[in-house]
Structure 1
């Protein structure tokens, strides 16, 4: 009985050993196949690193202000009897905005004008009588003073009527109406805002280190997130002679044409001052860069040492500079003419075999204009 149990256990151990050997042989075979297996090459698009000449510019955030902008207000207290403007309309210099009640002044004006006529006649008679010494010099001087006082009274009434007839001080675009018909205005009460929009000023600041390169007449490009499309161009018209003692920045003002009135006072914009000196850069598409916390890199396409005539990737760390459109400048780590992968770098690895196919390569531009804009 004991011998049977012993033979059974021994047979079981032999079966287990045979199965373990077979499984180990299978695993070893799979490992050998895995080591010898070669992944198929991935298809990539490429572009050579090229040298380019970029315009040097200084960027800053600016604010728009009107060349002329005021809130038209009442000079004298009176009731509004006529509103002659439409809110938001464009007006010319001298256009009537509102008319205040001038009935009292208009009623007093004929009497004042009659007094002028009377004093003028008296003065004319006194001139003749003074020649014949019929009147004294004192009476003549009194007649002259009376005539001047009468004329001053007429001019005062006319000036009051003119001040209550409020007109546009310059041409521009009106804002929201702030008065109503029949409203009694006090001195200084606002009526409507008036802004001259074409041209328009752009105020911005740059560090004092750039002061030596700044001068009146340099071109300025203005863009805004709320205004899609190309930059609006103008020129620097003022360089402030005073440097801010707190920020060490110098204030600048540019004048920009605004015929479509798309730029409005109070908006913030991005400004770029174009400098006459151009810089040479090594430009690559921004999509060629694999961004990572430990360093940015690109994949250089080189000859494969394993497959004759094949291509493989070499990961190269680079240092980046200024961005412009679809391109970014490389300051170090890459040489001109080296071919790099232009798209899909996030899925690649160092040493990977690739096949180049540029038929689907996207176009890269310094000033792209996406279709959905």
Structure 2
């Protein structure tokens, strides 16, 4: 290779080096001049100790203490409907009267036959004393009287079935039965429900059985009545665990004097268990739940201002909008409650608490 070629090669290499250095310096200048991202705006809450009542929560179904579809045992034509739809009735009160004219006539005929049989027996007993008739005749008369009396009782029972009465006190539903209508045995007339008090049936996991007992207080809320609380007590605990769900069924009796709660409604039930405790609490929105664990972002003072630091936490029970924190943070630390999506450890933040997430132990519906 000649000297001239070496000089040319050296010049090309020098040119490449100069161009590379210039390009590198240009990139550095662009990076330095690029606008830096500003701090992320977040809302925060201070972790603090609060009194915490351990509770068992479940969703239950309301059912009547007594509930039945009133029907007729016998066929007949409706003569009179003695109630109005939605009316409160007492036990034994007449609801529907069926036409019983022919049955009453038959009853009177049987009563007359029974009276004749009684007279015949009385006369033959007198004749027996004078040896005018045999003992066999008197025995036959006595048996005939018993038969006639039984027929009278049977017919009287049939007549009584033509008057359909309320089997217990309660509120009747809506009926479509009208006078003149023919009813067959078993036809539904109206539903009758006793709703004060009312039952609520709900299930609890088997691990919670040891925390419930007969007579324990129960509070109930329904979305139909917002924050209104209905109270009662446990009256029955099933002696059997459902093998499919491993849950135990519990029944409580709830006072319902205004008859607001109706059978078939669902309701949220709460049972207070144990003594009150104290826990660090945070709004549930502060917790980020991940497959590898639950985390929060703590706001700390960094070199250039406030910055976020991610921390793992162990959560406990929830109560309304709140969650109990068992470990991972200390009382008084400031924790991000919203705006976590763009955060990572070291991200600068600015705090704006003009709008706060819900943080109530007993939240109520916002719609009115």
Q: Please give the range of the TM-score, normalised by the shorter of the 2 chains.
A: 0.7 to 0.9
- 2:237 alignment partner in structure 1: 239
Task: Please say which of residues 76-85 and 132-141 is displaced more in the overlay.
Answer: 132-141
**Contact kept? 1:177, 1:192, Cα under 8 Å:** yes
Residues 240 and 44 (structure 1), Cα distance of their counterparts in 2 relative to 1, 3 Å cut: closer
How far apart, in 2, do the equivalents of 1:57 and 1:361 lie?
26
Superposition map of 1:329-368 within 5 A: 329-346=324-341, 350-353=345-348, 364-368=359-363
What number of residue pairs does the alignment pair up? 352
Deviations 1:136-155 (A, max 9, x none): 54444444444444433333
- 2:92 alignment partner in structure 1: 94
2:250 to 241, 246, 252: 252
Asked if 1:315 is matched to 2:310, the reply is yes
Asked if 1:155 is matched to 2:153, the reply is yes
Asked if 1:71 is matched to 2:89, the reply is no
- 1:271 alignment partner in structure 2: 269
1:167 to 165, 172, 185: 165
**Contact kept? 1:287, 1:344, Cα under 8 Å:** no
- 2:8 alignment partner in structure 1: none
Superposition map of 1:89-238 within 5 A: 89-123=87-121, 136-238=134-236
Task: Please say which of residues 38-47 and 274-283 is displaced more in the overlay.
Answer: 38-47
- Aligned-pair CA distance for 1:167: 0.8
Tell me, what secondary structure is at the counterpart of 1:211? helix
Q: Tell me, which stretches of 5 or more residues in structure 1 are unaligned?
A: 1-20
1:326 to 321, 335, 345: 321
Deviations 1:187-221 (A, max 9, x none): 22222211111112222222333333322112223
Deviations 1:78-108 (A, max 9, x none): 2222222222322221222111110112223
Residues 371 and 244 (structure 1), Cα distance of their counterparts in 2 relative to 1, 3 Å cut: closer
TM-score by length of 1: 0.77
Tell me, what secondary structure is at the counterpart of 1:198? strand
How far apart, in 2, do the equivalents of 1:195 and 1:29 lie?
83
Tell me, what secondary structure is at the counterpart of 2:83? coil
Q: Say what the alpha-carbon RMSD is for the aligned residues.
A: 3.7
Residues 285 and 247 (structure 1), Cα distance of their counterparts in 2 relative to 1, 3 Å cut: closer
Q: Tell me, which stretches of 5 or more residues in structure 2 are unaligned?
A: 1-20
Task: Please say which of residues 284-293 and 318-327 is displaced more in the overlay.
Answer: 284-293
- Aligned-pair CA distance for 1:168: 0.8
TM-score by length of 2: 0.78
How far apart, in 1, do the equivalents of 2:357 and 2:205 lie?
38
